[in-house]
């Protein structure tokens, strides 16, 4: 079995490798909007963009956990209050949809809006109508963040949507493919464990760094 541990040095290494598979000239000419779906994804998007003038932003979302298991994500809500539900888990745990919608509203009001005011100073996510979007993340265990971002973006009627992700599970690649125009990735891994395993270094992205990146996009 092929081992994938530490196959990437850090986010900069991942960005350099992704730039080899992303059509960078097209990204520049069509003014793709680069959108991180996580803090690490925003930093990776910044490194992918490099010296280009493409717009960079972050779409906020929060996980909704099972009522009796704080480590099991059963749904996710975005800043536009779009909700993606893992129907299999909700059914298995016999979770009521009232719980999902109630938690989604609470997470939106208490956590997402706090992030919008902290990191974007209250600026709402811009409309992507008739625009080309590149959603970015450093890795993806379940595809949940991408699916939530996709539901949000697609509701805005964009011209095209792409994904750039350094590493992801093979089954998540297959899950996402029908919803986007293309997926640019470095490795798809059959027996995916967790994203940090595939990086030598994956430092936390600080609040100050996120604020700085989004402040520059005003």
* pLDDT score, position 217: 78
* pLDDT score, position 23: 98
Q: Are 61 and 161 in contact (CB under 8 A)?
A: no
**What is the arithmetic mean of pLDDT over 94-115?**
96
User: What pLDDT, in 10s, does the model give residues 132-181?
Assistant: 999 999 999 999 999 999 999 999 999 999 999 999 999 999 999 999 99
Instruction: Give the closest residue to 35 by CA, choosing from 27, 49, 45, 25.
Output: 45
Q: Give yes or no for residue 97 having a pLDDT over 60.
A: yes
Based on the number of CB atoms within 10 Å of its own CB, is 19 exposed (0-12), middle (13-18) or buried (19 or more)? middle
* pLDDT score, position 2: 65
Q: Are 24 and 214 in contact (CB under 8 A)?
A: no
Parallel/antiparallel/unpaired status of strands 132-139 and 160-169: parallel
């Amino acid at each position: 079995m092929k081992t994938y541990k530490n196959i990437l040095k850090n986010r900069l290494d991942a960005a350099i490798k992704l730039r080899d598979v992303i059509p960078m000239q097209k990204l520049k000419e069509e003014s793709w909007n680069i959108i991180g779906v996580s803090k690490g994804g925003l930093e990776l998007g910044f490194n992918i963009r490099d010296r280009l003038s493409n717009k960079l932003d972050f779409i906020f979302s929060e996980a909704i956990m099972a009522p009796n298991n704080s480590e099991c994500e059963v749904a996710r809500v975005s800043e536009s209050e779009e909700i993606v539900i893992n129907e299999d888990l909700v059914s298995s745990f016999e979770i009521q949809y009232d719980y999902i919608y109630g938690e989604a509203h609470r997470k939106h009001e208490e956590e997402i809006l706090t992030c919008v005011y902290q990191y974007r100073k209250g600026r709402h996510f811009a409309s992507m109508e008739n625009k080309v979007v590149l959603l970015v993340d450093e890795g993806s265990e379940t595809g949940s963040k991408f699916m939530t971002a996709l539901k949000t973006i697609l509701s805005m009627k964009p011209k095209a949507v792409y994904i750039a992700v350094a590493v992801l599970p093979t089954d998540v690649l297959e899950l996402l493919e029908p919803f986007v125009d293309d997926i640019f990735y470095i490795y798809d891994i059959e027996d995916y464990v967790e994203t940090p395993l595939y990086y030598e270094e994956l430092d936390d992205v600080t609040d100050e760094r996120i604020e700085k990146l989004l402040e520059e996009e005003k």
